[in-house]
Amino acid sequence: MIAEAVHREHHHRDIKGGGARAAVFGASDGLVTNVSLILGLAGARPIASVVRLGGLAVLIGGALSMAIGEYVSMRAQTELLQRELEIERHEIKHRPDYERRELADIYEQRGIDPEVAHSLATEMMRDPELALETHAREELGIDPTALGSPLQAAVSSFVSFAGGAVIPLIPWLITTGITAVIASIVAAGFASILVGIALSRFTDRPWWKSAGRQLLLSAIAAGATYFIGKAVGISGVG
């Protein structure tokens, strides 16, 4: 029975990895942010260089902001979890009996027979590293071997935001006017569908639901800024 409890595993998608999460949401943020700004500027009908400059500024500034924010937040989270692990490691070393009883109590609260719970806790406490991993999972709800990489998340966030942001900007590097506006809308719409499909692979939702939601939200944001820009307007058509 103990062996079954120890070796029984469930396989889930990796939802804690900083890189994958930052990549998907970074691309979405970059796409929605820049298509909204570009169409907002385009709606005001400025010279084309203003739209290009605004789109480029958002691409670079937004990507850097996302990367720095992701790095700082994940770094702080990792340091906090490492501190908690050090506290747990100290307790296991200096108060092993207390930690063993604590682990047994956790198993009992989950419905395991008291005798089995105590035997399982005793077995877990034989190896300090296994004991630390077990306490981390059971008490803190974390995997000490998978705390995430702040640098990986930052790089992934930068690249994905920039990748999303450059899509609606590309038409303005090639053409101008209504042609560029339409091309930005088409490119952003297609990219939104791809982002939604990618997101569905993590959430296990039907791809068409995720793609439709992403497309709708992007359209709302871009449409709102375009009509605001058109209502405000600036001089200089180009």
Q: Over range 107-116, report the average pLDDT.
A: 90
Query: What domain range includes position 170?
Result: 19-227
The answer to whether residue 134 is domain-embedded is yes
Place 194 in a pLDDT band, splitting at 50, 70 and 90: very high
Token duo for residue 152: 């990986």
The answer to whether residue 8 is domain-embedded is no
Distance CA 186, CA 183 (A): 5
The answer to whether residue 5 is domain-embedded is no
The answer to whether residue 6 is domain-embedded is no
Stated pTM of the model: 0.76
Number of domains in the chain: 1
The answer to whether residue 203 is domain-embedded is yes
Q: Measuring CA to CA, which residue among 197, 221, 184, 206 is closest to residue 24?
A: 197
Residue 225 pLDDT > 60, yes or no? yes
Q: Over range 27-35, report the average pLDDT.
A: 96
Tens digits of residue pLDDT in 200-210: 887 788 999 99
pLDDT score of 2: 43
pLDDT score of 235: 52
pLDDT score of 175: 95
The answer to whether residue 13 is domain-embedded is no
Q: What per-residue string of b and e applies to 13-34 under the rule 16 or more CB within 10 Å gives b?
A: eeeebbbbbbbbbbbbbbbbbb
Q: What percentage of the chain has pLDDT greater than the value 90? A: 59
The answer to whether residue 199 is domain-embedded is yes
Residues 6+ apart with CB under 8 A from 236: 45, 46, 47, 50
The answer to whether residue 4 is domain-embedded is no
Tens digits of residue pLDDT in 145-172: 778 788 888 888 899 999 999 999 999 9
Q: How far from 132 is each of 83, 96, 129, 139, 157, CA to CA, in Å?
A: 13, 11, 5, 10, 31
Q: What percentage of the chain has pLDDT greater than the value 70? A: 89
| Chain-centroid distance, C-alpha 214 | 15
Token duo for residue 72: 């700082």
Average pLDDT, rounded, for the chain: 87
pLDDT score of 19: 58
Distance CA 125, CA 120 (A): 9
Tokens 């092993």 appear where? Answer: 96
Residue 30 pLDDT > 50, yes or no? yes
Q: What Rg, from alpha-carbon coordinates, does the chain have?
A: 25
Distance CA 225, CA 220 (A): 9
